[in-house]
Chain A
Amino acid sequence: MAGDQHKEKGRVFSRRSLMMAGSQAVLMSALAGRLYYLQVIHSDEYSTMADENRMNLQLLPPLRGRIVDRFGLEVASNRHNYRVVLIPEQTKSVEATLDALEHYVPPGSIDRERVLKDVKRKRSFVPIPVVDNLTWEQFAKINVNSPDLPGIQMDVGSTRDYPYGPLFAHIVGYVGAVSERDLQTQEYDPLLELPEFRIGKSGIEKYYDKTLRGKAGLSRLEANAFGRIIRELNRQEGIPGNDAVLTIDKQLQEFTVRRMGTESAAAVIMDIHSGDVLSMVSVPSFDPNAFASGISSADWKALIEDPKRPLGNKAIGGQYPPGSTFKMIVALAALEAGVINAGHQVFCSGHTQLGKHRFHCWKRGGHGKLDLEDAISQSCDIYFYDIARKVGVDKIAEMAHRFGLGEELDIDMLGERDGLIPTKAWKLAVQGVPWQLGETYNTGIGQGYVLATPLQLAVMTARLANGGKKVSPRLVRSINGEALEGAMQPHPQLNLEDLDLGISQNSLKYVLNGMYKVVNGPRGSARAAKIRVEGWEMAGKTGTAQVRRISRKERIEGVRKSDEKPWEERDHALFVGYAPFDDPRYAVSVIVEHGGSGSGAAAPIARDLLQETLRLDPLRKPSYDIAIRRQKGGGDA
């Protein structure tokens, strides 16, 4: 009986253990099945997730393209920014390391509070910036002493540098941090999200931002679960930005700024054939380097509140009544319309009557009898009242537009203003009242509604001097040595047939002769400012623009001399001119805000500028972009 039970016990055990083995086999198969499910069926998904875990993409900001003057002189470049960073995990005491570092850096350059805050906030292997913009000497000294500075690491970044500071501030502009608005308005570029990335904020830096910016490189890094970088998997270098070659001649630009002195003034010098702007100056200026590294609010306030407006580019954004510099346009309009010929004469008695209004000439006693050339050279207002009345404001406006006034010239820069050339339709549309004849009189002498920028006046003069060709101003000659599309070839391979403004050479001749007499005639308004070098003679036109209307009372009591008035009430002084008269090459426009009179304040400056331009004559030297092309083995070697 016991034996039977023993056997039965064994049988039950065998059966049960077989069942147990079976169920364990099923469970093992489930594990194998799960393994298959994860490692074969869903392998790709999990591989992707594993890569997402470990891969860390880092953008490598490209080196920003340089901006050079027409001879290759760097006016905006990239400077090494020597920095010191701290890696907290590599030092026992952050405080002690900072104390030690104090001996090697300029006092006060470590913002301890911020550094300590960053140390607390970030993981201990993340480098924390401590000091920026060290000199090479300081940098080297810290490097040598690095054994005493645990946790300190040296780092070389790149900062935009403007070696000539204020000299090119308005042309080149400056770069700054990407703002919220930039992110919204600009085309998406991952670079914009880098905290240290800088983009062009004004001037050429802004207009050619994309060209200068380059393409970001990419570094694929492997990071562990704590974010520590283990190694670089691969690296795709970025493409550096293109260099922009300006038309500006740094030497001439420098001369212009110096010649302007402390005035609030603007000047533009341009090649009348190619349109190259050789110098464009607006003074006073500011230091763009302050913007690249972040400007203090006090400095910013000072710039904003300065009555001479250093931040604005007056050469393209300042709008002034052109005054008598507008008279060439009025004369051409009358000649081309056929309402007068060059022999047309007017008697100037010092004033003329229109209804109840009396219009004065600037010369109280009057000029007597004048023809067109005399009227230009002596800048007689009565003559121009007369011919303006004859031709009408709309014809004058049409002529002004042909010479580039009243519209943007599409120079490669933002902030350009239209100026204003009034017409009858314009007044009705804007003010809702019909045009008055008296307003035609004012337009005839470049006052009233008429406004122009110094750049427009330079372009006007260039178009007069080059025989009525529609030359357009440009600031950038080439990008990386490749001439810009649509840009005109420099003198003398000039082909301006298509650009003819359709002015008869005859009409032009009288006007240009008048301009010659302004400077070189015995009674010319700018006879004191003639160029005395033979073959370099200048022709031009003075302009004095009233800032406020001269009241009747003042006329009776005698018009005060300009320099007796407070600065902000003095007249603007203007001069436009070109040289040499016989073989014109360069045009200039100068405006001195509240300078008094064109002949006194602006003409001597313009004379000096043209003389210096001719002396330097940039076209005779090999230009930078041609040199680059030769280096690259292409082109016309």
Chain B
Amino acid sequence: MLRELGAKNVQLPLSRKIWEINWGFVLLICATASIGFLMLYSAANGNLEPWASRQMMRFGVGLILMFVVALVDIRIWLNLAYPLYAVALILLGAVEVMGVIGMGARRWIDFGPFQLQPSEVMKIAIILALARYFHNIGLEDVRRIRWLIPPLLLVLAPVALVLRQPDLGTALLLAAGAGIVFFVAGVRLWKFAVVIGTAIPAGFFAFQFLHEYQKKRVLTFLNPENDPLGAGYHILQSKIALGSGGVFGKGLLQGTQSHLNYLPEMRTDFIFSMLAEEFGMVGGLLLFALYILLIAYGYAIAYRSRNHFGKLLAIGMTGIFFLYIFINVAMVMGMVPVVGVPLPLISYGGTAMLTLLIGFGLIMSVYIHRDIDIPGKR
């Protein structure tokens, strides 16, 4: 239908845009978030207060924001990509100077009524910036190393700043999310091999400069049972919660590990363990299914987009979403080190929720404006 409207410089009427919102996608998001509300209701021993209700409010605000983002013309996002990135980078730098210290790291900027976590803004900004960059250059250029230096710098600058906070999880997430955009943009595979090949020894080298608690996290990951009362306690208790849930789980509000406080951080990072304890493998797989459907939507939207910017943006955002899921779930199951990454749409917390919903808004914007052709600048 849109195709008939012509490809270039077309403005879609608002009614049309609303009609084009992918309501199935919205429904999946709401369904997933509802599971989160249920778990927070359980975490408060069967009360909406204090967590579930607040989370619902945040989700409501986030949903509105998502629609606004979705309805904004994709070309505006394209134009805003670099400025947004610049602002995010400046904010990240500002954290160094005026950030609020919390949980042993400097991550927040206090803006009076609300606090801002620039690293969250950066997660979106870097995908936008990279999508715009790769949208603009041709395939041959993608395969030339000198054309890869600017986007690499785009990635390294924020990663370095986030590492200094220090926030290992977010740094990895940024690097990996960017990597996905590089990959689908068509960067040669051997270049990835080179980057990873240098990153691993660099990682070992960097390990020496990590904070003590981060070193400990990496080391206890390797064998958590060795230190059951110390740093390995979290992973072990999480595995006990998961394992004791069995196939069908212990039932809502019946999780002993969660409700008797053996499970650490059960509202945030370890909420999946609680879900799997109370609803078992059935509950865990149901959540996986919802996530897979959301990711599939992301891919489908990317495939349908006629403009390259939309494709890269949708894949990049879906990739970030996937990385959240994978790192968090793998962490609580003892497959990767404990890094503070929330479970998307489920974990308690406003900032991550907003970031995600804005990301979903961008994916939806790609869908709504899928037939708009945007010529590359070159």
Contacts and interface: CB of A to CB of B under 8 A. Distances in A.
A36 B284 CA distance: 10
A223 B257 CA distance: 11
B10 interface: no
A230 B281 contact: no
A17 B315 contact: yes
Nearest to B243: A46
A575 B241 CA distance: 79
A623 B292 CA distance: 84
A46 B242 contact: yes
A5 B138 CA distance: 7
Contacts of B285: 32, 35
A223 B303 CA distance: 54
Interface centre among A14, A16, A35, A224, by most chain B C-beta atoms within 10 angstroms, is A35
B243 A39 contact: yes
B256 A14 contact: no
A53 interface: yes
Given A5-B138, A8-B139, A40 B244 contact: no
The size class of the interface chain A forms with chain B is 35 or more
Given A24-B295, A224-B260, A53 B186 contact: no
Nearest to B139: A9
Given A13-B308, A17-B303, A38-B239, A31 B247 contact: no
A45 interface: yes
B261 interface: yes
Contacts of B333: 31, 34-35, 38
A31 B322 CA distance: 12
Contacts of A14: 303
B240 A35 contact: no
B210 interface: no
B262 interface: yes
User: By DSSP majority rule, is chain A's interface helix, strand, loop, or mixed?
Assistant: helix
B176 to A, nearest CB: 12
A54 interface: yes
A222 B260 contact: yes
B242 A53 contact: no
A48 to B, nearest CB: 8
A13 B184 CA distance: 5
Given A5-B140, A224-B260, A224-B262, A43 B244 contact: yes
Contacts of A96: none
Contacts of A9: 138-139, 186, 308
B244 A31 contact: no
A51 B180 CA distance: 43
Contacts of A36: 281
Contacts of B259: 224
B123 interface: no
B183 interface: yes
Nearest to B284: A35
A230 to B, nearest CB: 7
Given A39-B242, A43-B246, A54 B276 contact: no
A295 interface: no
A484 interface: no
Contacts of B262: 50, 53-54, 224-225
Interface string B244-264: 111100000000110111100
Contacts of B240: 46, 49-50, 53
Contacts of B185: 13, 16
A53 B281 contact: no
A50 B288 contact: no
B229 to A, nearest CB: 11
Interface in A1-41: 5, 8-10, 12-14, 16-17, 19-21, 24, 27-28, 30-32, 34-36, 38-40
A274 to B, nearest CB: 61
A39 B186 contact: no
A236 interface: no
A47 to B, nearest CB: 4
Nearest to A16: B184
Contact of A12 (B139, B247, B329, B335): B139
7 contacts: A16-B185, A17-B303, A31-B288, A31-B329, A35-B281, A50-B262, A224-B259
Given A12-B139, A225-B261, 5 more contacts: A24-B295, A35-B285, A45-B243, A51-B256, A224-B260
